[in-house]
Amino acid sequence: MTPREAQRLWKALNRPNLMVKIPSTVAGIQAVEVLIAEGINKPNLYRES
């Protein structure tokens, strides 16, 4: 999956807990780095009030 495809899914599904599967190849690792930098696939941490 490319960063562009992951971004499209992220926006289309609008789910804060969406996880995308990216292979652990050189290109995949680069894609993960891009997506993490853009805030995709980071856990949404919250506190109970």
Q: Which residues are catalytic?
A: 21
Mapped to the 3 state alphabet, what secondary structure does 1-49 carry?
A: CCHHHHHHHHHHHCCCCCCCCCCCCHHHHHHHHHHHHCCCCCCCCCCCC
